[in-house]
Structure 1
Amino acid sequence: MPATTALLRRPGHLLLLGALSLGGCIRLGPDFQPPGEPWSRQWQSPALEQASERGTYPDLRQWWQVFSDPVLDRLISEADAHNASLKVAALRVLEARAQLGIAESGRFPQLQQVGVDSLYIDRHQSGGNNPQDTHFWQHSAAFDIGWELDFWGRFSRAIESSDASYFAAQANYEDALVLLRAQVADTYFLLRTTEARLRVARENADQQKRNFEITEQLFTSGQTAELDLQQAKTQYLTTLASIPAFEDQLLRTRNALAVLVGQPPGGSMLLAEQQGLIPLVDRAVLQDVPANLLLRRPDVRAAELNVAAQSALVGVAETDLYPSLTLLGSIVWSSDSLGATPRSLDLIGGPSLRWNIFDYGRIRNNVRVQDARLQQLIEVYRDKVRQAAREADDAASGLSKGLERERILGEAEAAARRSLALANTQYREGYSDFQRVLDAQRALLQLQDSYLVTRANAVSNLIALYKALGGGWQNSAPPIDEPTLQQMQQRTDWGNLLTAPPPQPTYPIPSQVSHHD
C-alpha cells in the first residue's frame, strides 16, 4: 500500500485517481429479473380449497402438531438433531458462506506479496587484468501489490453470484427440513398402519383356525365333507402366510425410522406398539393463500436463487471482453556483504493494462455458454413451480377422495362383520353351507385391510399436502450441533465463521429472500 500511495502523489497520475473512483461503477451483464410467470401469483385450486382452511393453529412450520401425537413430536425432534442428511445440508451452508468470503476478497488488492531472499554467492573470476575470487551474501526484501480495479464489475458480479448461492444453500437446508419431517411422519404412520394390519391378520387367523378345527372335528365324525375341511384349511393357511410378510415390513419400517432419527437399526429407538387407529384429519390448516405458499417453498426459492447466481456469472464472463486495469506497486530493498557496494531502496509503481483482443471467439462463446445456463435455470425454476402446484393439487385431491373412500369402507366393514355373524349362525343351524362362511370371512379380512390402507393413504396425502406447500421449513435448533462445531474448530481455524450471525444480502437478490429473512 505505501508504494501505491507514493505512486499517486507524483504528478501525472490524477487519471488513476479517477479510474479508481470509477472502479466498480460499471457492472456488465444482466441484472436479476424474477423468472416467475403471472399464473403462479394468482394460482387457485378447487381441490385445495376443499381440502384446506385458513387458520392460525397449527403453524405451517410445525404442521405435524395437527395430529396431537407426542410420539411423532419426539421423533421429529430427534430427526432434527441427529439426521445425517440434514447435517450435510447445514454443512453445505457453511461451505457456501466460506465461498462467499473468497468472492468478497476480490474487493481488495488481489496481489499482496512479501518476499525475502538471502543468497550466498561464491564468484570465481579468471582471465583479464584483475582475476579474483569473491565470496559474499546478497540480501533483498520486497513488498509487491497488484490491484485490478473492478471497472466492469467482475468482482462485484462474482460477489453477487456467491451471495445468491449462499442463500440458495440456506434454502436447500430448509428444503431438507421439509422433506425430512414429512418422511418421518410418513414412516411413523406407515409403522402404525403395519402394526394394525398385522393385528387384523392375526385376529382373522385365530378365527379361521377355530373354524378349521371345528370342520376337522366334523369331518372326523363324518358330519361334513372333506371339501369343507380343505377349504377351511386353505383359507387359514393363506391368512397365516401373510403374517410373516407383515412382520418383515414392520421390522424394515422400524429400521427406516431409526435411521431417519439418527439411530442404528434395532437400537434403543424401539417404539411401543400403538393400539389405536392412526388419526384422521379432514383438512390442512393454512396461514396464507396457496399461491404465496408455493412461491415460499424452500426448493422453489433455491431454484430462483440459482437463477440469480447464474445471472451474475453472465456479467463475470462479459468482463473478459474488455481491458483490465491494474495498479502495480513494489518496495524493494537490497544489500550485500561487500563493503563497497551501496544499499538500495526502490519504489516502483504504475498502471498495467491488459486486453485479450485475439481470442478467436473463446470469450464470446463463454458468455453464450453462461447465458444458455441461465436460460436453463429459468426453465428449471418455472417447471419447479408447476411441479409444486401439481403436488399440492394431487395431494389435496388424494386427501378428499381418500376420506370419502374411508367412509364407504367403514360402512362396508360393518356390513361384512354382520354378514359373517349371520353366515356362522346359519351354518351352525344347518340353513347354509360352509362356503358362505368362508366367503364372509374372506370379505371381512379384505375390507378390514383395505380400510386400514385407505386411512393410511388419506394421512399420507395430508402429509404430502403440507410438504407440497413448504410446511416445516423452520428449525429453532442450531443447524450444526456443538460437538461437530468443536471438532471442526479443533481441526481448522474457522475464526468466528462458526458462531457469527448469518450475513445479510450484499446485492439485490430475489424478493422471497427478504420475506424469508
Structure 2
Amino acid sequence: MAPRPIALLLSVALPLTACNAGPDYRPRTAAELGVPSGYSVPADQAGAEDLTHWWSNFDDPMLVQLVEQGRTANLDVAQAVTRLRQARESLVQARSTLLPTVGASAGASRNQQVSGPGGSGNSFSIGGDASYQVDLFGGNRRGVEAAGAAYQASGFDYAAVLISVQAEIARNYVLARLAQTQLAYARASLAIQDDNLQIAEWRVQAGLVSSIDAEQARAARAQTVASIPSIEANYNGFVSRLGVLTGQAPGALKAAMEAPRPIPVGPAKVAVGIPAETLRQRPDVRSAERNLAAATARIGVAQSQLYPQLSIGGSLGSGGGAIGALFDTISGRLFANIAQTIFDGGRTRSQVRANEAAAEGAFLSYKQTVLTGLEDVENAIVALAAAQERARQFAIAWDAANNSAILARMQYRSGLTDFTTLNQAESSLLSARNGQAQAQADQATALIALYLALGGGWDSNTTPEATNGN
C-alpha cells in the first residue's frame, strides 16, 4: 500500500482512538449499597480511632511481638504477596498492548557449489520490523483499566489476609493465656481438695463422720485432676497454632510462652465512627469495589471486538555478499491492515453479554460484602458489651463464692457443717473462677473481633502495592 493511502486511512482512524467501548465505571452511592447513616446497636460513633496497630492497646509486649512477627513471617501473608506480584505483572502485560512491537534479525549463509557451472558465495542480511495495533475503540485501554483495578483489588486482598492473620494470632494468644489461668485455678483447687481429703479421712478415723465424707472428697479431687489434661491439650493447641501463624514449627514458641501471664485486657470501649467510615477502612469492601471496576472495564474489552481492528507496521532490511557491502542497498516496507469480523455465530456478542452479567454479579458481591461488613461490626459491638457485663457479674460471683468457700472450710474443720456443704462451696468457687477467666477472655476476643470487623491493622490511606523486594 502506498504511503498516501496509508496516511488517508490513519487520518480517519486515529481520531477514533479517543473513543472507549463499553460503559465508564461509576462509583456506587451509599444508598445503592444499602449503607445506613448509623448502627442499629448502641455504639460510639465519634470519630473513628487509628487502628493501624490496635494490638498495642492490650499493653502486652509478648502479644505485640507475635503479631509483628506474623505480619512478616506468616505464610498466608507471603502467598498474598505473591498473588499481588502476579497482578502487577498482569498490569505490565496489559500496558504493553498500548505500545508497538519492535523486532530485529540478522543472518549469514554460505552457498557452496558442489558440481556444475557457477561458483560459491556468501550472503549477509540484517533487518528490523515494527508493528502496532491501533486502539481504535479503546479495547486495549479498557484492558489496562481492568488490569489496574484487579491489581488494586489484589492489594486490598493482601491487606484482608494480613488483618485476618493478626486477629487470629491475637485470639490464639488470649486463649493460650486463658488456658494457663484455668490450669492455675485447677491446680490451686487441687491443693485445697488434697487438704480437704486429708481432713475428711482424719475425721472418719476419729469416728466423727461417716466414710461418705472421704468418698465425696476423693470424687471431687478426681474430677479436678481429670480436667487438667484437657486444659493442657487446649493450651498446647493454642501455642502450636501461634507457632504456625508466625511462620514457625508448632513447638517453636513453647519455651517463650511457658511463663504464665495474665489474660490481656484492652480498652473498655472503641470509637467505631459511622458506617461509611468503617467501610472505607475495611480492605475486603475496597477489594470488592475494585473488582466491580475491573468487571465494568471488561465489558468494554469485549465490546471493542465488535468493531474494526486496525494494524500498521513496517520493516527495513539490507543484504549483501560481504559485510562491508551490507548497507549498500536498504529496502523498506510500510503496511496497514484493517479487519472486521462479519460472522462468528454470535460468539462476540455473547462475550459482551457474559461480561455484563459478570459486572452485575460483581456489584451484588460488592453490596453483599458491604452488608456483611456492617453485620460483623454490629455483632462484635454487641458481643463486646455482653462479655463486659458477664465479666462484671462473674467478678461479683467470684467474690461471693470465695467468701462462701472460706466460711465453709472453717466450719467443716470445726465440725459445724457437713462435707456436702463444703464440696458445693468449693465447686462453686472453681466454677466462678473459671467463669470470670472465661468472661475476661471473651471480652478480649470480642474486642479483637471488633478491631477486625472495623478493618484495623493496616494503613487504609494507601493502596498496597508490590515492590521489587517482595
Scaled by the length of structure 2, what TM-score is found? 0.90
- TM-fit CA distance, 1:475: 9.6
1:117 alignment counterpart: 107
Give the aligned partner of residue 145 of structure 2. Answer: 160
Partners of 2:422 and 2:7 in 1: CA distance: 105
Could you tell me the TM-score, scaled by structure 1's length? 0.82
Match of 1:270, SS state, is helix
The Cα offsets for residues 337-362 of structure 1, whole Å up to 9 and x where unpaired, read as 7xxxx985332112101222221111
Residue 15 in structure 1 maps to residue 12 in structure 2:
no
**2:293 maps to 1:308:** yes
Task: Give the Å deviation of 1:123.
Answer: 6.7
Following TM superposition, by how much is the alpha carbon of 1:40 offset from its aligned partner in structure 2, in angstroms?
4.5
Partner Cα separation in structure 2 for residue 275 and residue 256 of structure 1 = 18
Distance across 1 between alignment mates of 2:236 and 2:117: 91
- Once the two structures are superposed, what CA deviation does each residue of 1:198-239 show, in whole Å capped at 9, x if it has no partner? 111111111112112222233344433232222211111111
The amino acid of 1:285's aligned partner reads: A
Report what 1:101 is aligned to.
92
From 73, 76, 90, give the equivalent of 2:64: 73
Task: Tell me, in whole angstroms, the C-alpha distance in 2 between the residues paired with 1:55 and 1:232.
Answer: 57
Match of 2:468 in 1: 498
Q: Is the 8 A contact 1:35 1:382 kept in 2?
A: no
Write the letter of the residue equivalent to 1:81. Answer: T
Tell me, in whole angstroms, the C-alpha distance in 1 between the residues paired with 2:164 and 2:12: 51
CA distance in 2, matches of 1:24, 1:171: 32
Any conservation in 2 of the 1:40–1:291 contact (CA below 8 Å)?
no
Two-structure CA RMSD over aligned residues (Å): 2.8
Report if the CA contact (8 A) 1:23-1:149 is conserved: no
Q: CA shift at 1:59, angstroms?
A: 2.2
How many Å separate the matches in 1 of 2:257 and 2:124? 75
- The DSSP-based 3-state class of the residue aligned with 2:157 is helix
Instruction: Select the residue among 23, 39, 44 that pairs with 1:45.
Output: 39
Q: Using the TM superposition, give the Cα deviation of residue 270 of structure 1 relative to its aligned residue in structure 2, in angstroms.
A: 0.9
Q: What amino acid maps onto 2:457 in structure 1? A: G
The residue number in structure 2 matching 1:34 is 27
Report Cα offsets for 1:245-267 as digits up to 9, x if no partner: 22222222222222323333333
Q: Tell me what 2:275 maps to.
A: 290
Say whether 1:278 aligns with 2:264.
yes
Equivalence for 1:463 = 448
CA offsets 1:21-42 (integer angstroms, 9 cap, x no match): 3253111112112245516443
DSSP-derived class of the 1:107 partner: coil
Closer, same or farther: CA 171–280 of 1 in aligned 2, 3 Å:
closer
Alignment match of 1:208 (pick from 177, 193, 202): 193
Matches of residues 101-250 of structure 1 in structure 2 within 5 Å? 101-109=92-100, 111-121=101-111, 132=117, 135-250=120-235
| AA in 2 matched with 1:83 | N
Q: Is the 8 A contact 1:290 1:469 kept in 2?
A: no
SS of the residue 1:442 aligns to: helix
**Gaps (5+ residues) in structure 2?**
none
2:339 equivalent among 337, 342, 354: 354
Give the structure 2 partner of residue 510 of structure 1: none
Q: Residue 364 of structure 1 corresponds to which residue in structure 2?
A: 349
**For residues 400-454 of structure 1, what are the alpha-carbon distances to aligned partners after superposition, in whole Å with 9 as ceiling and x for unaligned?**
1111111112111211122222322333343432111111211221121122111
Matched residue type, 2:102: Q
Task: Report the residue type matching 2:108 in the other structure.
Answer: S
Q: How many angstroms apart in 2 are the aligned matches of 1:86 and 1:133?
A: 71
Secondary structure of the 1:438 match is helix
Where does the alignment leave 5 or more consecutive residues of structure 1 unmatched?
1-6, 126-130, 486-496, 501-517
Rounded to whole Å, the distance in 1 between the matches of 2:460 and 2:404 is 52
**In structure 2, C-alpha distance between the alignment counterparts of 1:29 and 1:158, rounded to whole Å:** 11
Name whichever of 441-450 and 299-308 sits farther off: 441-450
Deviation readout 1:278-328 (Å, 9 max, x if unpaired): 325321134x42322223311110111011112111111111111101112
Q: Percent identity?
A: 29
CA drift at 1:16: 3.5
Residue type matched to 1:92 in 2? R
Aligned to 1:488: none
Q: Is the 8 A contact 1:295 1:385 kept in 2?
A: no
**Counterpart residue type for residue 11 of structure 2:** G
Counterpart of 2:437? Answer: 452
Q: Distance in 1 between matches of 2:130 and 2:16?
A: 17
Does the CA contact (< 8 Å) of 1:124 and 1:132 recur in 2? no
Are the aligned partners of 2:6 and 2:336 in contact in 1 as well (CA < 8 Å)? no
Q: CA deviation at 1:20?
A: 5.8
Contact 2:94-2:147 within 8 A present in 1 as well: yes
The equivalent of 1:54 in structure 2 is: 46
8 A contact 2:73–2:247 mirrored in 1: yes
Would the alpha carbon gap of residues 298 and 361 (structure 1) be closer, same or farther in structure 2, given more than 3 Å must change? same
The count of residues paired between Structure 1 and Structure 2 equals 462
Q: Partners of 1:103 and 1:204 in 2: how far apart?
A: 68
Distance (Å, rounded) in 2 between the aligned partners of 1:475 and 1:252: 33
Quick one: which of 364, 369, 372 aligns to 1:379? 364
- 1: distance between equivalents of 2:213 and 2:107? 104
Match for residue 17 of structure 2? 24
Q: Which residue of 1 aligns with 2:428?
A: 443
Q: Deviations over 1:49-69 (max 9, x none)?
A: 1xx36368x622122232222
Letter in 2 for 1:359: D
Task: Show the counterpart of 1:398.
Answer: 383
Q: Please tell me whether the aligned partners of residues 201 and 243 of structure 1 are also in contact (alpha carbons under 8 angstroms).
A: yes
1:91-110 Cα offsets, whole Å, 9 max, x none, are: 3323222221111111111x
4+ aligned runs moved over 6 Å, structure 1: none
Aligned-partner SS, 2:21: coil
Letter in 2 for 1:498: N
Matched AA of 2:292: V
Whether contact under 8 Å (2:281, 2:460) holds in the other structure is no
Aligned 8 A contact 1:30 1:314 in 2: yes
Q: Is the 8 A contact 2:204 2:214 kept in 1?
A: yes
Q: Which stretch shows the higher mean deviation, 419-428 or 203-212?
A: 419-428
2:266–2:447 contact (8 Å) kept in structure 1: no
CA shift, 1:277, in A, is 4.4
SS of corresponding position for 1:42: coil
